[in-house]
A and B are shown apart, each in its own frame.
Chain A
Amino acid sequence: MLVIHCPYCQADRPELEFANAGEAHIVRPDNMAEMTDAEFEKMFFVRQNPKGVNLERWRHIHGCGRFFNAIRHTVSDKFLKVYKAGESRPSDAEIAELMK
């Protein structure tokens, strides 16, 4: 079981308190009716599914209930960073720094 740090509660909690909510930083467009089929497919179905660093959403569903983002390595399952929803995506340089 993973131990996950909630950036709102500022506490380490077992994975059972959280729900994974998929890939992070996928913006739900406000003009969905105007999207092409290819754009909709990319937004709705296509996923990066990386073997390596993954940016993903979690929700502290049995805690504060809030969504936040995390950077996690999908081979070691180790969390490199958690940050609040709405904060911008860390740059590739920052992620490379976290990997060290």
Chain B
Amino acid sequence: MRNFNALNLAREALRGHKGWGQQWRNPEPKKSYDVIIVGAGGHGLGTAYYLAKEHGVKNIAVLEKGWLGGGNTGRNTTIIRSNYLYDESAGLYNHALNLWENLSQELNYNVMFSQRGVMMLAHNVHDVQSAQRHIHANRLNGVDNEWLTPQQAKDYCPPLNISKSSRYPVMGAALQRRGGVARHDAVAWGYARQASAMGVDIIQNCEVTGINRATSGEVTGVETTKGPIGAKQVGIVAAGHTSVLMEMAGVQMPLESYPLQALVSEPVKPVFPCVAMSNAVHAYISQSDKGELVIGAGTDSYLSYSQTGSMHILQHTLDAIIELYPMFNRMKMLRTWGGIVDVTPDRSPILAKTPVKGLYVNCGWGTGGFKATPGSANVFAHTIAKDEPHSINAGFTLERFRNGRLIDEAAAAAVAH
């Protein structure tokens, strides 16, 4: 792997950029590994990266049934923020945000992290009270968040319609200035490149079909479409398919998998300077560096692994977008797609050991896992390497659904997020 720096760039510019080489290796699986990560999305690749870099684990494989970064990592709307209500969530998402701020430097790969601010709109008295409660809770936890009046919101985001006659008038907004967006594919590629350079085998088109266990119960490896592979520890980082994989080890999960959709418009010149979200009318929007408006829609109401959602979900979101930003009412939408998200009962993730020795799970990110990628990967690597959770993810256990210590962000925000 060659570093991206001014000297190498200049050298390659003179020779037609023919010397960069492959960014990561494409190896065949070995007979066994110390740690196998199932799922080569951002969280899985990041876990392998931090295991190798911070914990000195040498013999790691990441198995991916499709292609690297082809699941929800490549399908999300790339919004990054940490303004969650509860202490546990604030700790986890702010850990991620701290890592995001230096991620391009750390990976020597431009993840195009742009702190353009995330503004969450309030449309009724309850929204206002809830947003202000979030702001106070956030500030006590060292998470930046501030209240904007409708006019201040309009100044920050000029396309916003703050007319009192709109269907759901804007009554104010909570702004997290440190929030923003990043280039989602680059996150997977950057982690893959560095992990591969440290010796991690990333094996694509290799679906896990079974989890092998010794008679005493602990994990001994996995069955795959490329044959059996041994492992002392297995980490499942498979988003929507977590229930399917955990079932292979006999563990039933408190998860449900739903299609979540997003869409982009035709590309236009820069018009939208920040990320704006509205939970009440369900509209998330930002503009990519290519110029497309990136719009997040909702989940379908039923379980599905189809990776497609219903048209009426998209229409519902676009109704809200046009009401809030009337200038977009003649924009053409270019593409829509869906991903399968795994949702927990309390809408908080599970980053934990499991009842099976040597098996770890990182799941339940629901509709908002991208923002947590570096933090999630970092503490999950710790959990695997030390066989105990990091203090940051200590609360995100599987047992919380048995002992009642929920981290109930669902009740806090009234929507999945």
B209, chain A: closest CB distance, angstroms: 13
Q: Are A20 and B254 in contact (CB under 8 A)?
A: no
Q: Are A2 and B310 in contact (CB under 8 A)?
A: yes
Across the two chains, which residue of chain A brings its CB closest to B311? Answer: A1
List, in ascending order, chain A residues with CB within 8 A of B257's CB: 49, 51, 74
Number of B positions contacting A (CB below 8 A): 24
Q: Which of B252, B306, B345, B403 is close to A74, meaning CB atoms less than 8 Å apart?
A: B306
Across the two chains, which residue of chain B brings its CB closest to A21? Answer: B301
Give the complex CA separation of A51 and B302 in angstroms.
13
Q: Which of A38, A41, A47, A76 is close to B255, meaning CB atoms less than 8 Å apart?
A: A47
Interface residues of A in 36-58 (CB under 8 A from B): 37-38, 40-42, 44-51, 54, 56
List, in ascending order, chain A residues with CB within 8 A of B302's CB: 2, 20, 56, 72, 77
Is B385 on the interface with A (CB-CB < 8 A)?
no
| B residues whose Cβ falls under 8 Å from a Cβ of A | 241, 243-244, 252-257, 301-306, 310-312, 342, 345, 401-404
Is A15 on the interface with B (CB-CB < 8 A)?
yes
Question: Does more than half of chain B's interface fall in helix, strand or loop, or is it mixed?
Answer: loop
Among B312, B402, B404, residue most surrounded by chain A Cβ atoms (within 10 Å) = B402
List, in ascending order, chain A residues with CB within 8 A of B312's CB: 1, 15-16
Looking at chain A, what size class is its interface with the partner chain?
20 to 34
List, in ascending order, chain B residues with CB within 8 A of A32's CB: none
Give the complex CA separation of A41 and B397 in angstroms.
14
A17-42 near B? 1/0 per residue, CB < 8 Å:
00110100000000000000110111
Give the complex CA separation of A38 and B305 in angstroms.
28
Q: Which of B243, B306, B311 is close to A75, meaning CB atoms less than 8 Å apart?
A: B306
Q: Are A20 and B401 in contact (CB under 8 A)?
A: no
Q: Are A74 and B255 in contact (CB under 8 A)?
A: no
B346, chain A: closest CB distance, angstroms: 9
Give the complex CA separation of A2 and B243 in angstroms.
24
Q: Are A77 and B254 in contact (CB under 8 A)?
A: no
B201, chain A: closest CB distance, angstroms: 27
Q: Are B306 and A47 in contact (CB under 8 A)?
A: no
Across the two chains, which residue of chain B brings its CB closest to A36? Answer: B402
A52-87 near B? 1/0 per residue, CB < 8 Å:
001010000000000000001011110000000000
